[in-house]
Structure 1
Amino acid sequence: MIRKVKPEIRVVGFDDGTFSFSSKVAHGRTILVGVVMKGAREVVGVLSRWITVDGTDATEKLIDAVVNSRFKDLRVIMLKGVTYGGFNIVDLDKLYLETGLPVLVVIRKKPDLRAMEAALRKHFPDWRERFEVLRRAPPLFELIPGKLYLQTVGLSPETAAEIVRTTTKTGLIPEPLRLAHMIASAVMTGESTKE
């Protein structure tokens, strides 16, 4: 449990790389990058794993990356959403239980669960299982109305908000997530894209 959020709190923020439609059809892979930081000030390291586009391995790959890393002083796992590589959905409760670390999801747009369910029904024979993982995710709360939403497992909304403020240098997105996005997109396309 996090009692006080220190300026140098150790967090890892994960985002995925871009992928093409052809990689979806061929069940290709995309990279998942985690940037380990002390607050918003110092990059301590980078983790990476390959995940299957539209697969079901994102949760396991995240667990593996965190549990088997040399970074044993992590306090929080940050995610930029719960879907990676298309509809490779992260089970937030499982991630929390198997790593022992609180999970903080940061997103800019409120997801449309009805549209997601319709897409899952249309494209995936296992749509019920995938949608159940989405449905079980904790409720969103607005940090900045209409601009930034959070989901947490193992953290109070107040502590989560403080962690976001502590790890954000500029803009709305915490630095570990912003850098993970840039690195992952550069690996996949040869050039980083803006968050």
Structure 2
Amino acid sequence: MIRKVKREIRVIGFDDGTFTGKNRGEKVILVGVIMKGALDVVGIVTRWITIDGFDSSDAIIDAVNSSRFKDLRVIMLKGVTYAGFNIVDVKRVYRETGLPVIVVIRKKPDLNAMESALRKHFNDYEERIKLLRSAGKLIELIPGKLYYQVVGLSEDTAREVIRVTTRNSLIPEPLRLAHMIASAVMRGESTKD
């Protein structure tokens, strides 16, 4: 439990690499950046996940639980869909790592459009929709610009963690760096967060 959010709170932020021309079943990198607050990078973990697969939760859980970084306090995710529609089971990640999860989203998701796409393209759409809906209430942090969901922390504490881990953009630094590293691995050059 987090009683007070310190400036040097240890967090891990995950994002996947951008991809083009990849087909369902191929692999995309998932990068986790471990930081003390918004200032110091203390480590990086990677896993490969399947485009439109069901292994993003397993990869995050394994990356956290098998890492040498045992003083992590929070897991941050840049959205809940990785590698296309490889949807993270946020509650399972919380349960199996023992760490609260904060999902940060730049653009308000259109859940109806996502659910429609899942129904159209996936036989197992019911399970994927269930994961989307179970990620927690969408909370607006910066009107029209930044949203978050949280499991395992109060909304206020989650908001404070986002604040102390943000430095160079609207997105917390661990997520911004994870995005840059993952996209550089996949494309040879980082892309904008």
2:9 paired residue number: 9
Of 19, 41, 47, the match for 1:43: 41
Give the gaps of 5 or more residues in structure 1: none
Query: Does the residue aligned with 2:23 lie in a helix, a strand or coil?
Result: helix
1:73 shift after superposition = 0.1
Query: Does the residue aligned with 1:36 lie in a helix, a strand or coil?
Result: strand
**CA offsets 1:123-163 (integer angstroms, 9 cap, x no match):** 11101111111112211101111110010000111111111
1:96 paired residue number: 94
Query: Does the residue aligned with 2:191 lie in a helix, a strand or coil?
Result: coil
2:85 paired residue number: 87
Query: 1:144, 1:118 → 2: CA distance?
Result: 27
Query: 1:104, 1:145 → 2: CA distance?
Result: 18
What does 1:123-142 align with in structure 2 at a 5 Å threshold?
123-142=121-140
Identity of aligned residues (%): 70
Query: 1:105, 1:62 → 2: CA distance?
Result: 13
Query: 2:23, 2:93 → 1: CA distance?
Result: 25
2:165 paired residue number: 167
Query: 1:109, 1:44 → 2: CA distance?
Result: 29
What does 1:1-195 align with in structure 2 at a 5 Å threshold?
1-20=1-20, 22-25=21-24, 27-195=25-193
1:74 shift after superposition = 0.1
1:87 shift after superposition = 0.1
1:5 alignment partner AA: V
Give the gaps of 5 or more residues in structure 2: none
1:24 shift after superposition = 2.4
**CA offsets 1:73-101 (integer angstroms, 9 cap, x no match):** 00000000000000000000000000000
2:129 alignment partner AA: F
Query: 1:18, 1:101 → 2: CA distance?
Result: 26
Query: Does the residue aligned with 1:23 lie in a helix, a strand or coil?
Result: coil
Aligned residue-pair number: 193
Query: Does the residue aligned with 1:12 lie in a helix, a strand or coil?
Result: strand
Query: 2:135, 2:38 → 1: CA distance?
Result: 27
Query: 1:174, 1:52 → 2: CA distance?
Result: 25
Query: Does the residue aligned with 1:178 lie in a helix, a strand or coil?
Result: helix
What RMSD in Å do the two structures reach over aligned CA positions?
0.7
Query: 2:173, 2:106 → 1: CA distance?
Result: 14
